[in-house]
Structure 1
Amino acid sequence: MNAPHIKAVIFDMDGLLLDTEGVYTEVTQLISDRYGGRAFDWQFKQNTIGLGAYDLASYIVGALELPISPEAFLELRTPLMNERFPHANAMAGAEALVRHLSANGVPIAVGTSSSRHYFDLKISRHREWFGLFDAIVTADDPQVGAAKPAPDIFLVAAQRLRMAPKDCLVFEDSPFGITAAKAAGMYAVAIPDPAMPDEKFRHADRRLLSLEAFEPQAWGLPNY
Structure 2
Amino acid sequence: MQFKKVTHVIFDMDGLLIDSESIYDEIISEILAQFGKEYTDDCKLKVLGTTQIDTAKIVLKESQIPLTLEEFLKQFRKATQIALQNPVMMPGARELVKHLYKNEIPIAVATSSSQELMELKTKPHQDVFKLFHHIVCGSTDKEVKNGKPAPDIFLICASRFPENPDPANCLVFEDAPNGVKGASRAGMQSVMVPAPYIPQELRKNATVVLDSLKEFKPELFGLPERE
TM-score range, shorter chain: over 0.9
**CA deviation profile, 1:101-146 (whole Å, cap 9, x unmatched):** 0000000000000000110011121012100001110111122111
Contact persistence 1:6–1:167 (CA under 8 A): yes
1: CA distance between counterparts of 2:33 and 2:51? 23
Alignment correspondent of 2:223: 221
Q: CA deviation at 1:2?
A: 4.3
1: CA distance between counterparts of 2:220 and 2:42? 35
Contact persistence 2:149–2:181 (CA under 8 A): yes
Instruction: Pick which of 41-50 and 66-75 moved more.
Output: 41-50
2: CA distance between counterparts of 1:62 and 1:135? 34
The letter of the residue matching 1:150 is A
Q: Size of the alignment, in residue pairs?
A: 223
Cα RMSD after superposing both structures: 1.2
TM-score (norm 2): 0.95
Matched, 1:196 2:195: no
> Which of 201, 207, 210 is the equivalent residue of 1:208?
210
> Which of 140, 164, 167 is the equivalent residue of 1:165?
167
Contact persistence 1:171–1:188 (CA under 8 A): yes
Q: Which runs of 4+ in 1 moved over 3 A?
A: none
Alignment correspondent of 2:109: 110
2: CA distance between counterparts of 1:165 and 1:145? 18
The letter of the residue matching 1:222 is P
Describe how 1:45-194 pairs up with structure 2 within 5 A: 45-139=44-138, 140-161=140-161, 162-194=164-196
Contact persistence 2:2–2:221 (CA under 8 A): no
**CA deviation profile, 1:23-51 (whole Å, cap 9, x unmatched):** 111111221122x1411132322221111
Q: Where do 5+ consecutive residues of structure 1 fail to align?
A: none
Contact persistence 2:23–2:83 (CA under 8 A): yes
Contact persistence 2:49–2:148 (CA under 8 A): yes
TM-score (norm 1): 0.96
2: CA distance between counterparts of 1:108 and 1:93? 16
